[in-house]
Amino acid sequence: MSVATARAVTIRTRSLEKHYGENIAVQPLDLEVRQGEVFGLLGPNGAGKTTTILMLLGLTEPTAGSAEVLGLDPARNPLQVKRFVGYLPDNVGFYSGMTGRQNLRYTARLNGVPKDVAAERIDGLLDRVGLASAGDDYVDTYSRGMLQRLGVADALVKDPLVLILDEPTTSIDPIGVAETLDLVRELAHDKGVSVLLSSHLLHQVQQVCDRIAIFVKGTVAATGTVAELAGQQEAGAQIQIEVGADGEPDAVAATLRAVPGVTDVEHEPGDARIWVVTGEPDIRGRLAQALVGAGQIPWQLRNRGMDLDEIYQRYFAALADRQALELDTEDEPEPEPVNA
């Protein structure tokens, strides 16, 4: 876990909700984002991520609950919050009749950044986001990816304490994505900026985020590091471990099956040198010890379910199961009254 876990909380929500008529966009939400960490909001479009961000910025009022950003209530003090928070929306917009540099100067002026400080900062930001050679071109000549890069620079002009990024790598080429994620990591881990990053791209979230909240239909299904999310299983749940070891296949399989707590051993399809072992959550050490004791030295012991994609799908599947159970319960007929 990031060292940010010991730092001050910069964003906090308590039972935060947003309703649009009958539609519940965000169900009671409790989150904490700490100084110097990258916190990911992961979920598909319509899961409630952007609505949560808008409430944190004071751009929409919560239906219930509370939010604090740097100790300020966004609903009551939206302008103060905006002084310290850089924001990159999903659909970034600029003045097309101005150059990229002029747009950044305008943002700097709105935020009270002195001219000399702004000039130096803008030069550095244009270079950092790969727009040094295009900074004096009009933005109506920019591609979608270039506009997104300019949006990152625009969010950083005020030198914010908190940075909120809504789908920051949309339409950016692979090199630009890597550079943007590097910049996000640097801002958080080297400069202490709190970064709240919303995305539906699992691989990028896993690359850059210290902690993650998985959004599913307006609610947060789970929060934690990738390792913590992978370990959040129901009581009695079993795990699967991919095992590769030297030795005669049948002998290795026999060794694995004899380990206490193992319930199943199968060959990995397409690779006869790897077995998939199912068993109790704490069997990993026992597997290694048994193999070494039998002279079948293990060269692979990989927990399945540690990839964010696997974790993500597991929480969605769990929600679908719960909803199906609720529907079954609702469809059950009312019991007939019993006459005394």
Q: How many domains does the chain have?
A: 2
Q: Above 60 in pLDDT, residue 3?
A: no
**Is 316 domain-assigned?**
no
Confidence of residue 235 (pLDDT cuts 50, 70, 90): very low
Q: Quickly state the pLDDT bin for 35 (edges 50, 70, 90).
A: very high
| pLDDT score at 244 | 92
With a cut of 80, say whether residue 29 has pLDDT above it: yes
Q: What is the CATH number of the domain that holds 280?
A: 3.30.70.100
Is 68 a domain residue? yes
Asked if residue 322 belongs to a domain, the reply is no
The reply to whether 249 and 176 lie within a common domain is no
Answer yes or no: do 90 and 176 share one domain: yes
Torsion of CA 150, 152, 156, 161, to 10 degrees: 170
Positive or negative, the CA dihedral 19, 24, 26, 28 is: positive
CATH code of the domain covering residue 220: 3.40.50.300
pTM over 0.85: no
User: pLDDT tens digit string along 68-80?
Assistant: 999 999 999 999 9
Among 37-46, 48-57, 171-180, 279-288, top mean pLDDT goes to 48-57
Torsions phi, psi of 153, nearest 5?
-60, -40
pLDDT at 327 over 50: no
Question: Quick one: 171 and 260 in the same domain?
Answer: no
Q: Which is more confidently placed, 237 or 26?
A: 26
CB-hemisphere CA count at 13 Å for 171?
A: 14
Q: Are residues 226 and 252 in the same domain?
A: no
**Residue whose structure tokens are 């990028």:** 204
Answer for the pair 165, 196: CB distance below 8 angstroms, yes or no. yes
- What value does the mean pLDDT take over residues 287-302? 91
Which of 24-28, 84-88, 195-199, 325-329 has the weakest average pLDDT?
325-329
Is 336 within the bounds of a domain?
no
pLDDT, residue 188, reads: 93
- Both 41 and 101 in one domain: the answer is yes
- Residue 266, domain member (yes or no): yes
326 pLDDT higher than 70: no
pLDDT in the model for residue 119: 96
Domain-ending residue, one of 231, 254, 278: 231
Q: 287 and 153, same structural domain? A: no
Q: What is the largest CA-CA distance in the chain?
A: 89
Is residue 48 one of the residues assigned to a domain?
yes
Same domain, 117 and 142: yes
Strand partners, 239: 279
pLDDT digits (tens, 9 = 90+) for 174-194: 888 888 889 999 999 999 999
- Among 203, 231, 259, the domain boundary falls at 231
Domain assignment present for 337 = no
Same domain, 190 and 120: yes
Q: Taking residues 208-225, what's their average pLDDT?
A: 87
d(CA 42, CA 202) in angstroms, rounded, equals: 7
Distance CA 262, CA 253 (A): 11
Backbone angles phi, psi at 112, to 5 degrees: 70, 25
Q: Which domain holds residue 279?
A: 239-303
- Judge if 77 and 223 occupy the same domain: yes
Average pLDDT over residues 249-258: 93
One domain, residues 101 and 250: no
Please tell me the least confidently modeled range out of 53-67, 157-171, 186-200, 296-310: 296-310
Task: Identify the band that residue 283 occupies on the pLDDT scale cut at 50, 70 and 90.
Answer: confident
Percentage of the residues of the chain whose pLDDT score is greater than 70 = 86
Say which range, 84-98, 103-117, 183-197, 273-287, has the weakest mean pLDDT: 273-287
Do residues 215 and 250 both lie within one domain? no
In a domain, 37, yes or no: yes
Confidence of residue 47 (pLDDT cuts 50, 70, 90): confident
Domain end residue (candidates: 184, 212, 231): 231
Same-domain pairing of 159 and 183 = yes
Strand runs (DSSP E) across the chain, as ranges?
A: 9-20, 23-34, 38-42, 64-69, 85-88, 162-166, 194-199, 211-216, 219-224, 239-245, 262-268, 271-279, 298-303
Least confidently predicted of 32-36, 123-127, 226-230, 264-268: 226-230
Tokens of residue 16, six digits: 């935060």
